[in-house]
Amino acid sequence: MSKVFDFLEKYLMGPMGKLSTFQFVRAIMAAGMASIPFTIVGSMFLVLSVIPQAFPVLQGIWNASFVKFNDLYMIANHFTMGVLAIYFCIIMGYELTKIKAKENDLNLDPLNGAMLSLMAFLFTIPELTIDGGMMKLVQSITDSEHVFNGIRLGDFATRLGTEGIFTGILMAALAVWLYSLCVKKNWTIRMPEAVPAGVSKSFTALIPAFVVAFVVLIINALLVLTGYDIYKIIQIPFSFVTNVTNTWYGMIIIYFLIGALWCVGIHGATIITSFTNPIVLANMAHNFDAVQSGSGQIYAYAGEFNNCYVTIGGSGATLGLVIFMVFMAKSEQLKVLGRASIVPAFFNINEPIIFGTPMIYNPSLLIPFILAPIVSSLIAFFAIDTGLVAPMIAQVPWPTPVGIGAFLGTAGDFKAVILALVCITVATIIYFPFFKAYDKKLYKEEQGQTSAE
């Protein structure tokens, strides 16, 4: 086991630990966390509109009540999930600017960074083409395409939603880098000290705003000349990553990395999900369209797939382990820890278990901590991918207890509840022999200490 930990430290902890310190990565983490309220609010109103699909008996009641206000309450969905890329971009720009200002000792205003990021992103929204030697906004109205003045429309402005998250992230990174470059080179307008701070800050961002505008427009022009735009370019590498995450071996890779990183002291869930969050949100939006239309590919890895089916009880799928600690542990350490952790565990919170057991650098529980989530993810993946269980179409709060989150996220599929219970049952079985051995070891140590005393 010492060789295993040495291997993980050398080839996983080192590279991933370094990756987690990058300013860009930390800003993405912050953007993902800060966007959670918007995804949940938008999804809950979405669930409200599809409840009759889960409970047909309510169709008459819904037609006489909620359906009459559908266009009203779905505004909450259109302007949260429907424009999620905007939220990501603004938060990313704000957080990245704040980090650079503090760590690079630059006079940067996070609000200016956020607004410059938003401006850069919005510049990429319209589609352009070359027509008769001139650059023109795309105009295309067909059964499959609705593009007005270069703005592509679906249920809403398509590129402002989950489809545009990656572009928003990259534009925020570009805008903040140009902003910080201008400040470093003193390419800013400095106002007298007597000028109010708010006015001074706005003029400080003036030259950076011109620089960001020119750079993004030049990028747009170069891409249009090649027959592409930034969305099509970004789609090439990210579609590959997305395709990998939507495979059974992608599940193994994701959950092995999360578990292995935790075992050597790095918050694996935060690092890995920072990169997968845009993917699961885009997949969830795609699933909703597929379910509504009755056709199209569905994605198993979508929405809160992770907390609803895989990491039930927290990272490592430890809910069953906590129950073992409460009712079966002989060692006093595990008994006390289990009683303190049982309530948080039902809400997918298990820091007491990870740091109190501990899971970190613990060879006795390394295997189940990594294996249980992998097996659970494969069970859930195949159940959804084969159509046995409905896909996730709505975001639910990650602390939602086992079964309830799966039920709400699938808009009322009872089979999703059964799937969640199967996943946690299998994870619990995997933990059992390792728990028994570890508990026996601790009990002997406690007995030995008691005898010595």
The pLDDT tens digits of the residues spanning 141-174 come to 887 788 888 888 776 677 888 888 889 999 999 9
Domain boundaries in the chain? 81-239, 252-445
Name residue, tokens 């993004």. 216
Name residue, tokens 């295993």. 4
Pairing of strands 134-137, 128-131: antiparallel
d(CA 431, CA 186): 59
For 440, the token pair is 């026996």
Compute mean pLDDT per 10 residues along the chain, 453 residues long, and list them: 67 70 87 86 81 77 86 87 91 95 91 95 91 87 82 77 88 96 86 65 84 95 88 80 88 93 81 86 88 84 94 93 94 92 91 87 89 97 95 89 92 93 96 94 84 58
Digit-coded pLDDT (tens) for 5-55: 676 666 666 676 777 788 988 898 888 888 888 888 888 888 787 777 767
Supply the DSSP symbol for 10: I
d(CA 282, CA 288): 10
Name residue, tokens 């239309």. 293
Q: Tell me the Cα Rg of the chain.
A: 25
d(CA 369, CA 384): 24
| C-alpha distances out from residue 167 to 52, 115, 234, Å | 35, 15, 7
d(CA 191, CA 436): 70
Name residue, tokens 């690092």. 271
Model-level pTM?
A: 0.80
d(CA 299, CA 387): 10
Do residues 258 and 269 make contact, with C-beta atoms less than 8 angstroms apart?
A: yes
Please count the other Cβ atoms lying within 10 Å of the Cβ belonging to residue 440.
12
